[in-house]
């Protein structure tokens, strides 16, 4: 592969992403309302999964704080929804999540391994109970109503968030910062010794991932009529992104995207058809994936492709 091929591939994938996004723009004009709602849910889970992968994928730090930043975004929609334009509320949801993640990252990203994971999960519970105390004792009510937005508006804003996230993830992985993040995941001590400012890089990336999670939470709140701390800070939103990323495969950008798309569609289908047993089916799928598909759907595709090509070459040579 020469430098021209490398340069061609570097710009081919962003061009394909832009083309796909342009095609998605036409969807609200040619499909039924249910399809728009379904795609919005899929976009939400893809954004949460890619945001989680943006930090946890290359560094190897398993964060379970997604529900904390998602919940903050939901609450920003409830607090600001009647007083500012929707797009301003969405940006504020992203910024408040970024600021909190920056502060938390500066305090905790010196922790490693299971200690960091436990702390991030504890952060979700801490913010949930602080918000509950604040609402009951200061505001005097538990929960609040959220101004609704029409389905097309939610769809387009989610599409814009997803497009920005895809481009950010792609160019980060292709840059020297992405290489530095990967070196942290491979051997953090070695990364420190070669001069990488490991702590600052982790903090900025962690906060950037939280920014996109907050954006997603704020716009998704407009699809719900009511939120409270138990709805907003549901640990379900902390565990699903890593599971979706594992389901798709963590080896490249397309794996988590595919895993989130398939898994979220599967969730919607199972909830509709098997409302009382879909969590059991979910659990079985994840157990099978971890046991027999450790590299996810992408790994399965690569294995089948290698065997097919290898068998074909073997037949030709004989």
CA distance 186 to 179: 10
Specify which residues 226 forms β-bridges with.
145
CA atoms within 13 A on the CB side of 107: 9
Give the pLDDT confidence score for residue 225 in this predicted structure: 81
When pLDDT is cut at 50, 70 and 90, the band that residue 9 belongs to is low
Give the pLDDT confidence score for residue 69 in this predicted structure: 96
What is the share, in percent, of the chain residues with pLDDT greater than 70?
Answer: 92
When pLDDT is cut at 50, 70 and 90, the band that residue 311 belongs to is low
Give the pLDDT confidence score for residue 154 in this predicted structure: 92
Whether the Cβ atoms of residue 232 and residue 142 lie closer than 8 Å to each other: no
Give the pLDDT confidence score for residue 15 in this predicted structure: 73
Give the pLDDT confidence score for residue 317 in this predicted structure: 44
| pLDDT(315) > 60 | no
Which tens digits make up the pLDDT trace of 232-281?
999 989 998 998 898 888 877 788 888 899 888 888 888 888 777 777 88
Give the pLDDT confidence score for residue 3 in this predicted structure: 44
| pLDDT(32) > 60 | yes
CA distance 178 to 129: 36
The arithmetic mean of pLDDT across residues 298-308, rounded, is 79
Which comes out higher in pLDDT, residue 315 or 19?
19
Q: Which three-class secondary structure state does DSSP give residue 214?
A: helix
Nearest to 87 by CA among 160, 166, 22: 160
When pLDDT is cut at 50, 70 and 90, the band that residue 114 belongs to is confident
What is the share, in percent, of the chain residues with pLDDT greater than 90?
Answer: 35
Which tens digits make up the pLDDT trace of 181-235?
888 888 888 888 888 888 889 999 999 999 999 999 999 999 888 898 999 999 9
DSSP string across 232-276: HT-THHHHHHHHHHHHH-SSSSHHHHHHHHHHHHHHHHHHHH-TT
Whether the Cβ atoms of residue 51 and residue 260 lie closer than 8 Å to each other: no
* Strands in the chain per DSSP E: 144-145, 226-227
Which tens digits make up the pLDDT trace of 123-159?
999 999 999 999 888 888 888 888 888 889 999 999 9
Whether the Cβ atoms of residue 45 and residue 244 lie closer than 8 Å to each other: yes
Give the pLDDT confidence score for residue 107 in this predicted structure: 86
Residues 6+ apart with CB under 8 A from 214: 69, 70, 72, 73, 76, 93, 94, 95, 96, 97, 98
| pLDDT(1) > 50 | no
Give the pLDDT confidence score for residue 314 in this predicted structure: 46
Give the pLDDT confidence score for residue 276 in this predicted structure: 78
CA distance 204 to 190: 20
What's the mean per-residue pLDDT of the chain?
A: 85
* DSSP single-letter state for residue 195: T
When pLDDT is cut at 50, 70 and 90, the band that residue 5 belongs to is very low
């Amino acid at each position: 592969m020469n430098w021209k091929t490398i340069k061609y591939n570097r710009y081919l994938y962003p061009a394909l992403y832009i083309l796909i996004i342009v095609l998605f723009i036409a969807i609200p004009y040619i499909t039924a309302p249910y399809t728009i709602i379904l795609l919005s849910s899929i976009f939400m889970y893809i954004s949460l999964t890619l945001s989680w992968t943006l930090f946890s994928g290359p560094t190897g730090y398993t964060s379970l704080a997604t529900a904390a930043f998602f919940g903050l975004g939901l609450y920003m929609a409830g607090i600001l929804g009647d007083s500012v334009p929707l797009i301003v509320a969405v940006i504020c949801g992203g910024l408040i999540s970024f600021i909190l993640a920056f502060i938390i990252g500066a305090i905790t990203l010196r922790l490693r391994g299971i200690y960091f994971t436990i702390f991030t999960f504890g952060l979700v519970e801490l913010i949930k109970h602080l918000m509950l105390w604040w609402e009951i004792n200061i505001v005097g009510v538990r929960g609040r109503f959220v101004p609704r937005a029409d389905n097309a508006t939610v769809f387009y804003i989610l599409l814009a968030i997803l497009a920005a996230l895809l481009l950010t993830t792609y160019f980060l992985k292709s840059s020297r910062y992405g290489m530095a993040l990967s070196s942290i995941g491979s051997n953090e001590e070695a990364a420190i010794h070669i001069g990488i400012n490991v702590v600052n890089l982790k903090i900025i990336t962690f906060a950037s991932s939280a920014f996109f999670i907050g954006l997603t939470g704020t716009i998704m709140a407009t699809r719900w009529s009511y939120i409270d701390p138990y709805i907003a800070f549901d640990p379900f939103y902390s565990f699903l992104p890593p599971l979706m990323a594992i389901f798709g495969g963590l080896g490249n950008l397309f794996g988590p995207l595919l895993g989130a798309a398939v898994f979220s569609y599967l969730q919607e289908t199972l909830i509709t058809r098997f409302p009382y047993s879909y969590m059991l089916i979910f659990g079985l799928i994840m157990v099978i994936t971890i046991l027999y598909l450790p590299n996810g759907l992408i790994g399965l595709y690569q294995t089948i492709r290698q065997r097919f090509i290898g068998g074909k070459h073997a037949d030709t040579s004989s």
